[in-house]
């Protein structure tokens, strides 16, 4: 005898809204809709109620949206309480296995603990291999990213293009998320794309085209992200490997400075060169031996001198793209100490605080530079006055 269809539970109605409206005769479609609506709206109390009735909701996805899970939706919107509710539900799986269906029982049997099962859920991927952590980073939800990381999310995982959570944060200028990811950089993981060897640092993780987060931040013209990455020691001379599906116009072998030159982005180009100048240690060449200068040049090469695969330096690219305002900055023949890195309009956001307090050598270098400029200006004025007097004398002699 067929079981009668039960009416929607009053518990599925909150604040006068019946989430179970439109349920099928089996009650499944309405129940799913109520769960997804609660997740998307951040209603963690209703999410907890629904999970208490059916833990299989933990593994359900939305095929119409690329196999997004509840974890993805909550991370995308930054719903911390929903993520915590999902986490608590997973950790409770071992307490009462009668609530699990056969597939969840198999997952729990394989993982052997609630913590391991939690790692499986927080690293769940969509059809394009996106994880909840990637969506949290893309949308700048720092707290959600931290919760996912503490729950076992693997930041080395890459999507279909090899973009990691750090790439997503860099592309979308989420510098606070970048800073949190790099405060305690994760150890190397085998889930990294094939271009990333075990010796690679997380800050310089590569996508499938050989682009680091710094490359993407420069390509998207995100100054705060560039400044944050450089402040944490990003490799500014790392070169791309292949032509990118994101930026097919860029030739192979580009550094972040090449990209800034191509884009005509003076603030980013200036920040890269400035960071190299301040980290180089060769601020007073007159007090540095030639041998030490050569050693520093090998260990920390000038990013203005790095070549692409078709042998172009950033200066060449700026010239070809008619980025005339960058030529003086990118000319490798100009000594770094003679460049002015002062931004007349000031620097906002992370770009203004990334490098930190200048060292005494930098302050002394700037003082010497200003003194030299003043002396040159005074000498030029004397020459002009002398030339004017000579011209006046010649005119008097001709008049006589």
pLDDT along the chain (400 residues), means of 10: 41 40 37 85 94 85 83 96 94 63 54 77 93 96 95 94 97 95 88 86 96 98 97 96 94 97 97 90 60 69 95 96 94 81 51 44 58 72 83 79
Write down how long the chain is.
400
Does one domain contain both 112 and 200? no
Neighbours of 353 (CB within 10 A): 14
pLDDT at residue 117, rounded to an integer: 84
The answer to whether the predicted template modeling score (pTM) of the entire model surpasses 0.95 is: no
Which tokens go with 221?
């013209």
Which CATH number goes with the domain that contains 307? 1.25.40.20
Same domain, 182 and 147: no
- The predicted structure's pLDDT at residue 1: 45
58 vs 47: CA distance, rounded Å: 10
Q: Kindly write down the DSSP assignment for every residue of 327-350, as one continuous string.
A: HHHH-TTS-GGG-----TT---GG
Neighbours of 40 (CB within 10 A): 15
Beta-strand relationship, 68-69 and 61-62: antiparallel
Residue 228 resides in a domain:
yes
pLDDT, residue 192, reads 83
Q: Say if residue 173 is in the same domain as residue 143.
A: no
Asked whether residue 98 falls in the same domain as residue 233, the answer is no
Q: Are residues 130 and 162 in the same domain?
A: no
Dihedral pair phi/psi, residue 310, rounded to 5°: -100, 25
Domain closes at, from 85, 119, 154: 154
User: How many independent structural domains does the chain possess?
Assistant: 2
- Do 275 and 126 fall into the same domain? no
Domain assignment present for residue 17? The answer is no
| Structure confidence at residue 355 (pLDDT) | 37
Residue 13 lies in a domain: no
Which of 100, 132, 154 represents a domain boundary (last residue)? 154
Distance CA(204)–CA(211), nearest Å, equals 9
For residues 196 and 223, state if they share a domain: yes
Q: Based on the domain organization, do 166 and 278 belong to the same domain?
A: yes
Residues 149 and 196 in one domain: no
CB atoms within 10 A of CB 354: 22
Q: In a 3-state reduction of DSSP, which class is residue 27? A: coil
Q: What is the DSSP string of 227-278?
A: HHHHHTT--TT----S--SS-TTSPSS--HHHHHHHHT-HHHHHHHHHHHHH
- Answer with the one of 295, 314, 340 that is the final residue of a domain: 340
Give the span between the Cα atoms of 192 and 185, in whole angstroms. Answer: 14
Distance of CA 15 to the CA centre of its chain: 39
Domain assignment of residue 276, given as a range: 158-340
């Amino acid at each position: 005898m067929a079981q009668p269809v039960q009416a929607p539970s009053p518990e599925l109605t909150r604040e006068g809204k019946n989430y179970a409206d439109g349920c099928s005769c089996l009650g499944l479609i309405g129940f799913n809709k109520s769960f997804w609506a609660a997740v998307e709206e951040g209603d963690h109390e209703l999410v907890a109620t629904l999970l208490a009735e059916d833990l299989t909701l933990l593994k359900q996805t939305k095929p119409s949206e690329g196999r997004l899970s509840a974890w993805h939706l909550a991370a995308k919107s930054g719903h911390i309480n929903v993520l915590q509710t999902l986490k608590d539900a997973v950790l409770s799986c071992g307490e009462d296995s009668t609530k699990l269906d056969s597939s969840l029982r198999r997952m729990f049997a394989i993982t052997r603990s609630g913590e391991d099962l939690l790692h499986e859920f927080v690293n769940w991927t969509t059809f394009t291999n996106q994880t909840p952590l990637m969506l949290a980073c893309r949308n700048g939800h720092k707290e959600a990213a931290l919760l996912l990381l503490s729950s076992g999310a693997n930041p080395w995982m890459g999507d279909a293009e090899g973009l990691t959570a750090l790439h997503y944060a860099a592309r979308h200028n989420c510098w606070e998320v970048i800073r949190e990811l790099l405060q305690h950089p994760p150890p190397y993981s085998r889930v990294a794309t094939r271009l990333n060897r075990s010796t690679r640092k997380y800050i310089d993780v590569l996508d499938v085209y050989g682009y680091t987060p710094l490359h993407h931040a420069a390509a998207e013209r995100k100054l705060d992200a560039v400044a944050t990455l450089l402040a944490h020691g990003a490799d500014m001379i790392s070169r791309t490997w292949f032509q990118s599906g994101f930026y097919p116009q860029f030739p192979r072998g580009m550094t972040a400075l090449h990209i800034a030159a191509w884009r005509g982005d003076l603030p980013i180009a200036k920040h890269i060169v400035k960071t190299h100048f301040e980290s180089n240690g060769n601020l007073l060449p007159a007090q540095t031996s030639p041998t030490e200068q050569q050693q520093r040049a090998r260990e920390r090469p000038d990013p203005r001198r790095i070549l692409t695969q078709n042998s172009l330096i950033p200066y060449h690219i700026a010239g070809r793209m008619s980025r005339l305002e960058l030529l003086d900055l990118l000319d490798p023949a100009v000594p770094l100490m003679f460049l002015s890195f002062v931004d007349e309009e000031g620097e906002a956001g992370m770009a203004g605080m990334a490098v930190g307090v200048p060292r005494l050598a930098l302050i002394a270098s700037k003082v010497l530079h200003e003194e030299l400029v003043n002396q040159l200006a005074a000498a030029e004025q004397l020459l002009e006055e002398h030339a004017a007097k000579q011209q006046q004398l010649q005119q008097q002699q001709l008049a006589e």
